[in-house]
Each structure stands twice: as structure tokens, then as C-alpha cells.
Structure 1
Amino acid sequence: MPDLSTATFILPAQAQLTSQQAALQRQVLAFIRHHRRDEQAAVFVIEGDAGSGKSVVLNAVFTALQQAARSGSDPALAGLDAHLLVNHNEMLKVYKEVAAHTPHLYKKDFVKPTPFINRQRKVGGLTDVVFVDEAHLLLSRPDPFNQFTANNQLDELLQLARVLVLVFDPHQVVKLKSHWDVGMLRRHLQGHTVRRFALNQQMRVQDSSVSDWINALVYRQLRPLPQPRHFELRIFDDGQPLYDWVRARNRAYGLSRLIATTDFPYRVLDDRTWYVDAGTLHLPWDKINFTDRPWASRPETVDEVGSIYTIQGFDLNYAGVIIGPSVDYDPVSDRIVVQTDRFEDQEAMRRRGDLDDLASARAAIVLHTLNILLKRGRLGLGIYACQPQLRQRLQALA
């Protein structure tokens, strides 16, 4: 089996869950035992920031549950029917690859939400347990193009499962058609038994001062750059030296990639090559990945620019982040400003009439995208900002 642990949420063979993660696993399994025969869905919500290890725990719990259900080692879990859903193509590939090499896991256990919902509606009856990774990517409006014609995928799943286990982070919502916030989630779960557990440790970015600095930035506040001892944080004045830095770190440490906010033209269904231009850098966007291997683990992608659609949920050793034109700096207020009209992902911004403050929701999409990208690197982060005022301010703070 390929070593997926180096680039993904899969733990290395000898690694262990942290004490907090292990406690969460015990609580989820106990919750499932208690509610496995309920007629109305009971919901366990796992919360936490990007890089807090949510998917690590979900994978561990699902594996333990399926092994117990199919081996009969735990009578309280024996015979359970369970599925894990994720609305993210690259993460789904990882889950299926793991299933191919793990006893008691099958590739059919893992599926995207829409086909699962459509299939279960035809079959009828309740599924015992449904896990949803990246539940903030569940559709919250119809999407006929992707064959989802109901109003909300969470509402559908609440009618199809006895127990739902959700991984949820409202700060990783990246499309308006999957718009979620904490209040909205609470409203949709009203009337159901709900347990919550928040993971509060940063497991990816290996320096708390850096993760604190990133958190401030995505809340539009610019602070002086920290000086971490065990993490490399650099600001670049051009995209080409950033790319050179990424390539050098990739040669030395592996798993180093260049990634960017979705501020550069591309068309998903167009076969032509689309490029990211950042200063003197001219490099192709990632393309639709038709292989079985995740984008981040393919060596040739060091010469591409990744997006949230290829990197969300994955770990890098070093991340070079291009902050595109939609994110700028206002020297009067000394704050980050967002220009949503410069954001090129028009599918993510597609208008919906049920949001009270559409402008704020669109700005949040841009900042969520930035948050996801800035928290990819375990060991280092390099940044190039396309907008001159933001670039100059970051250099001054460095």
C-alpha cells in the first residue's frame, strides 16, 4: 500500500491518537452503542479548526466500528451497517485506497453524499450509522447539475440514519451552495439528540505562534510576524522565488507544494491549460485529477499550482501560498480587505436568494479559502501577495 500517511489524515502505522483524540473515539463509539436502535437520528458533531485532527479521529473511529461490526468482537456493535460520506473527490480517493488494504473495510463503504442519498431513497429504511467528513461541504441548496434535487443534504441524511457523526468547521465552507454557519447547523439539528466535541489542538502547523498569526490574518488583522524556532515562515516579494523555495524544500524534505487562492482564470470543463501569474511566475493550475492518487502525493505536481479543491484536508511539509488579487490591505484601517469581484471561482460565488447578507457570505468564502491554504504546512509557510499594498505591509511586518 502507498504510504498515504505522509500527505493525508491517515496516521503512520506506529502512530497513536493523542489523549484528546482517543477520548473522542471512545465517546463516539459509546454514543453509537447507545443510539444504534433509535428511530430518530442522534447526532455527534466533531468540531475543530483546520489541522486539528478531525479527519484523523473520524477515520480511526470508522475503522474501529467496521472491524467490530464485521468481526463480531463487540456484541453491541455487531452487524451494524455503516457508511462514510465525503463531498471531496481527493479525500474520497484516500479513503478508498485505505479500504483496499485494511481488514473489514470495503471501498463501497465510502461514497459522496448525493449518490448515497439518492440510493437510500430508492432502497428505503434507515442506515444504522452515517459518518460525514467535511460536513461543512454538504449542499444546503438544490444542485440539479450534480443530481441533488432536494433542499439540503443534512436534512436528507437526518431522515436516512439512526446515528449521524459529523465533522464540521464553518470556517472551511468554500461555496455558497454549501453555505453553513454554527447557527444554521443548530437550527437544522433542532429536535434531535446532539452531542458535541471540540478538538482544540493544532496538529498540523507545528508552532502555535504561527497558527495564531494566521487566525488573526483571516479575521482581517495584520500582526508582526512571529519568529518561530521550529517552523519556517517567510514573505516573498515575487512568485518565482517562492516557487524556487518550494522546489528546494521539496528536494530536501518532500511534500512541498505551491498553492493559491482561486483568483486566477480557469474553466473546469475546458481542456486547455490555465495559468497562475504571480509577479514573474507563470505556472499552470492543477488539472482535474483522473488518477487514483491524490494530487499532493504525485511528484509531478510540484510544477503546478494547487487549489482548495486539490489540497483541502491534506498535509504538506512546506506550503508556498500565493494570495491573489481578491485579498488586499487598507492602510487607513490597517486591516485586510476583500474584493470578491476579483475572485475567479464564480461557481463558488453563485447567487442564492435565501441569504440575508450575501456580500458578507461571499467575503467569508474568500477568507475561508485563505485560511485553508495557509494552514497546510507542517514545517514551513511561504507567502507571496499579488496586491502591492498587502505585499509591502507583510514585508514591513516581517
Structure 2
Amino acid sequence: MSLTESTFILPKEAQLTQKQQQITQQILQFASQHLNAKTAAVFVLSGDAGAGKSVVLSTVFNELQKRTQSRDSVFYQTDNHLLVNHNEMLKIYWEIAGQTDYLKKKSFEKPTPFINRMNKRQKQADIVFVDEAQLLLSQADPFNHFKAANQLDEIMRLTHVLVIVADFNQVVKLKSYWSKSLLQQHLAGHPVEQADLNQQLRIQDDKLAAWINSLIEGKLRPLPAAADYELRIFADGQPLFAWVKAHDQVSGLSRILATTDFPFRVFSREPWYVTAGSLKLPWDRFNYQDRPWASQPETINEVGSIYTIQGFDLNYAGVILGPSVTYEPKTDQVIFHPEKFEDQTALQKRHQADLPDEKAAQIKILKNVVNILLKRGRYGLGIYAVDPALRQKLLMLAKK
């Protein structure tokens, strides 16, 4: 399985869309104009999951690092870094660095080590890129050795130009809670330029993407007919697993995923299990390998989570919607229950008073998790719902 088959990175024969090419040049021009800025200039690229944001970021960073070696370039010998707070995506970037001429593994790291090192050396970078910026810590987190108020302000203090990719529908922890309004508050006083990618490239059928969005907002609709996409609803987890394995044998890169609604312990030596009807499979283990979880053949027999699959492309995704996602027939609504969500650390109360409604923010976290999982598959999506009412409703809609 090649790297380009399993991630957001384009194969050599593929090309950026016209919009992606335009934004690539826009970012390079913005960076060149603000290289000597006294107050960090910030470029914000936003868009939904699967819109190709990371493709643009990776392309720009590769071109920038290439230009650092040219004496004729304004970027000659500039000090540039790409940061991401997600273990699996960081591994992807490290793997990319080993396959290109201009990228070095040391240029990719997590925000906290970057911040601590630059502070210790009293240095300032020229250009910093942040992928999945919605995962930046927005409060102190002793567990991750971060003691400042938030990572965004710290990074802006340590660079002349900052380029961030953000999707506020992929915020998955309250300790990294960001919204458009909160971001704008922190960017006040900085030169800012924004761009948006709104074309869905992973799930290219507009009706299917709209169906997923409707489910997340609480309204179930009949399954759309898609000529080039397989959408299936399952009455039990075993046939869902068989469907995923069959596609993995033919197409590769097909995995079972689940909302974080089942017991687990980080770093546990003993397996923790996900149950879906008659199916019982272990959660993904903490991935100590350099290869991303989904690209390891043995993980076909595990259940992936947002912590192993976010930012990753699958060919076929089998998604288990756990007990926190239910259906209420009387109101014809999908209901999200934070109290049933097993990953309670993601919903822990924040110290800052920047959440207008904490319960609403917790529900938004759950919706974001479902959004991330349902939009992983490029060619197919299978769904099993633990809640009987939701499962019955989905099966009924599948027959229409």
C-alpha cells in the first residue's frame, strides 16, 4: 500500500484543482509580503472534511522548502516549520519527508515541543504552518507539558508568518475548543487573510454529503442514490465487518470505525472491546509504529477511532454509531447524548469562561466526531447503529 493511496497526499499523476492551485499561490504571495512582519501575519484556510485543505498545505510547504535553497528566492534560507497536534498525521508528514528531496523530518513536529524549544533558544521562525489547527490547545494542559494560556497565541509570538488550516466541525475536545468567533478574537490586531475550500473531494457526490450533514443536524432522510458510491445500512455488526473485509481484499484501505462510546484506557496492555450486535472487536491500540494505523494490514481486525483516523482517507469505511447517538420517533430527530459518551476527558469542563453554553459545546463535540467518521470513505460507507430505534429508522430509510 503506497503512501498516496492511504493519505491526503496526491499521487504524482494527479493535479490540484484550479481552486487549490489559486490558494497555493495566494499563500506563497502572502508569506513573501509579510516575511519581516513585526506582528505575526496569519493566513487562515478553512473548509469541510475532505475538501483538500491538507493537500494544499503540504504542496505549499514542499514548494516553500524548495525555494529556501534558491539564492534568487525571497525565501532563501528561511526557517520554516509545519506543526500538527495529531499523532497519525504527524507520521504521514514524516513519511512524506523521507520520499521528497526538499523536506526534512525535523521540520514536522507537534506544537508544544516547537513552542518550548523556540522559547528556550529565544528564537523566532520565519514561517509556521499548522495543520488541523482546530486541535491546538486553547487552555493549559499539564498532561501535554503545555503551561501557557493557548497554543495559537504562543505560536504567533514565535513566527513572522503563520498559515493555519482549520475546520471547526472537527473540534473533538473542549481543551482544544475553537470557534470562528474565538479565533477572530485571538487574531485581532494581526494582518489576516482568509480563503475557503468548499468543494468536497473525498465524497464527491453532493447528495451523499448533504445526507450526512442532515443526519448530523438531527434529521434523517431517505438514502440518496449514488452511481459511484456505495452507502449501506446494516442490521448487525458482523455483516458490516464482512463487508469491510471484502472491500479491503479487493480495494485495500477499508476499516471499521466507531464513535468513542465504548470503554477504553489509553496505553492499556489489555484489549478493550467495541460491541456491535454480535460483533466484538478490540479498539485500536496505541500506535507505537512509525506507519499510520490504517496503513497497517493487521489493523483490519481492530476498530479505529477519531484519534487514529482523523485526516486519513479510506476507500471504504464501516462506522459503528455508539450509544450516544439515538433516534426519537416522536420528534423524528437524531439525538446526541454527551452523558453516554465514553470519552469523557474530551468533554471535561474548561477553566476559561469562553463557552457560552457548555452542554451545547459538548453536543457539538459529539456531532463533530460523527462528521469525521462518516466522511472517511472515498468509495463507500457502511453504518451500524447500536441504538435500536436509530438502527430501525436507518434500515427503513434504506428500503425507500
TM-score, normalization by structure 1: 0.98
Q: Give secondary structure in 1 for the equivalent of 2:68.
A: helix
1:379 maps to: 379
Deviation track 1:97-137 (CA, whole Å, cap 9, x = no partner) reads 11122112111000000000011111113211000000000
2:208 maps to: 210
1:245 maps to: 243
Aligned 1:41-56 pairs, distance under 5 A: 41-56=40-55
Match of 2:188 among 187, 190, 203: 190
Distance in 1, Cα, partners of 2:104 & 2:171: 29
Distance in 2, Cα, partners of 1:310 & 1:288: 9
Distance in 2, Cα, partners of 1:152 & 1:371: 25
Distance in 2, Cα, partners of 1:360 & 1:54: 27
2:139 maps to: 141
1:14 maps to: 13
Distance in 2, Cα, partners of 1:361 & 1:98: 35
1:61 maps to: 60
1:288 maps to: 286
Gap runs ≥5 in structure 1: none
Distance in 2, Cα, partners of 1:21 & 1:346: 37
Distance in 2, Cα, partners of 1:215 & 1:145: 34
Question: Does structure 2 retain, via aligned residues, the 8 Å contact 1:254–1:317?
Answer: yes
Deviation track 1:260-306 (CA, whole Å, cap 9, x = no partner) reads 00000000032110000010000011000111100111111111100
Cα distance, 1:71 vs. partner? Answer: 3.5
Cα distance, 1:206 vs. partner? Answer: 3.1
Residue identity opposite 1:388 in structure 2: P
What is the number of equivalent residue pairs in this alignment?
Answer: 396
Distance in 1, Cα, partners of 2:149 & 2:328: 39
1:71 maps to: 70
Cα distance, 1:78 vs. partner? Answer: 1.1
1:297 maps to: 295
Distance in 2, Cα, partners of 1:186 & 1:392: 43
Q: Give secondary structure in 2 for the equivalent of 1:71.
A: coil
Deviation track 1:223-259 (CA, whole Å, cap 9, x = no partner) reads 1110111100010011111001000111111111000
Cα distance, 1:79 vs. partner? Answer: 1.5
Greater alpha carbon shift after TM alignment, 248-257 vs 54-63: 248-257
2:151 maps to: 153
Greater alpha carbon shift after TM alignment, 284-293 vs 7-16: 7-16
Residue identity opposite 1:261 in structure 2: T
1:40 maps to: 39
Distance in 2, Cα, partners of 1:374 & 1:306: 12
Match of 2:223 among 219, 222, 225: 225
Match of 2:336 among 335, 338, 353: 338
Residue identity opposite 1:130 in structure 2: V
Residue identity opposite 1:396 in structure 2: M
Gap runs ≥5 in structure 2: none
Distance in 1, Cα, partners of 2:238 & 2:70: 54
Q: Give secondary structure in 2 for the equivalent of 1:150.
A: coil
1:24 maps to: 23
Q: Give secondary structure in 2 for the equivalent of 1:361.
A: helix
Distance in 1, Cα, partners of 2:61 & 2:217: 34
Aligned 1:113-192 pairs, distance under 5 A: 113-192=111-190
Residue identity opposite 2:69 in structure 1: R
Residue identity opposite 2:223 in structure 1: L
Cα distance, 1:193 vs. partner? Answer: 0.8
2:389 maps to: 389
Is 2:108 aligned against 1:110? Answer: yes
Cα distance, 1:221 vs. partner? Answer: 1.5
Deviation track 1:134-177 (CA, whole Å, cap 9, x = no partner) reads 00000001001110000110011111110000000100000010
Match of 1:235 among 233, 236, 251: 233
Question: Does structure 2 retain, via aligned residues, the 8 Å contact 1:206–1:379?
Answer: no
Q: Give secondary structure in 1 for the equivalent of 2:256.
A: strand
Cα distance, 1:4 vs. partner? Answer: 0.7
Match of 1:199 among 197, 200, 207: 197
Residue identity opposite 1:57 in structure 2: V
Distance in 2, Cα, partners of 1:300 & 1:26: 40
Question: Does structure 2 retain, via aligned residues, the 8 Å contact 1:323–1:386?
Answer: yes
Residue identity opposite 2:21 in structure 1: A
Cα distance, 1:51 vs. partner? Answer: 0.2
Question: Does structure 2 retain, via aligned residues, the 8 Å contact 1:260–1:305?
Answer: yes
Aligned 1:334-373 pairs, distance under 5 A: 334-353=332-351, 354=353, 355-373=355-373
Distance in 2, Cα, partners of 1:246 & 1:19: 34
Q: Give secondary structure in 1 for the equivalent of 2:346.
A: coil
Distance in 2, Cα, partners of 1:70 & 1:157: 25
Distance in 2, Cα, partners of 1:270 & 1:284: 12
Cα distance, 1:377 vs. partner? Answer: 0.3
Distance in 2, Cα, partners of 1:24 & 1:263: 38
Cα distance, 1:360 vs. partner? Answer: 0.8
Match of 2:96 among 80, 83, 98: 98
Q: Give secondary structure in 1 for the equivalent of 2:69.
A: helix
Question: Does structure 2 retain, via aligned residues, the 8 Å contact 1:206–1:230?
Answer: no
Cα distance, 1:27 vs. partner? Answer: 0.2
Residue identity opposite 1:29 in structure 2: L
